[in-house]
Amino acid sequence: MLNQYQRRADLIPNLVETVKGYARHEEQTLTAVVEARAKATQMTIPSDILTNPEAFKRFQENQAALTTALSRLLAVAEQYPDLKANQNFLSLQSQLEGTENRISVARRDYIEAVQAYNTELRTIPGRWIAAMFYREAKIKETFTISQEAQEAPKVRF
Contact call for residues 41 and 9 (beta carbons, < 8 A): yes
Which of 25-29, 42-46, 70-74, 117-121 is the least confident region? 25-29
Say how far apart CA 12 and CA 6 lie, in whole Å.
10
33 Cβ neighbours under 8 A, 6+ residues apart: 12, 16, 66, 69, 70, 72, 73
The pLDDT assigned to 149 comes to 57
pLDDT at residue 118 greater than cutoff 80 = yes
Question: pLDDT at position 155, please?
Answer: 43
Digit-coded pLDDT (tens) for 49-102: 889 999 999 998 889 888 888 888 877 777 777 766 677 777 888 888 888 889
Taking the C-alpha atoms of residue 17 and residue 26, their distance in angstroms, rounded to an integer, is: 12
Architecture of domain 2-150: Up-down Bundle (1.20)
- What is the structure's pLDDT at 157? 34
Question: What is the pLDDT confidence band of residue 110, given thresholds at 50, 70 and 90?
Answer: very high
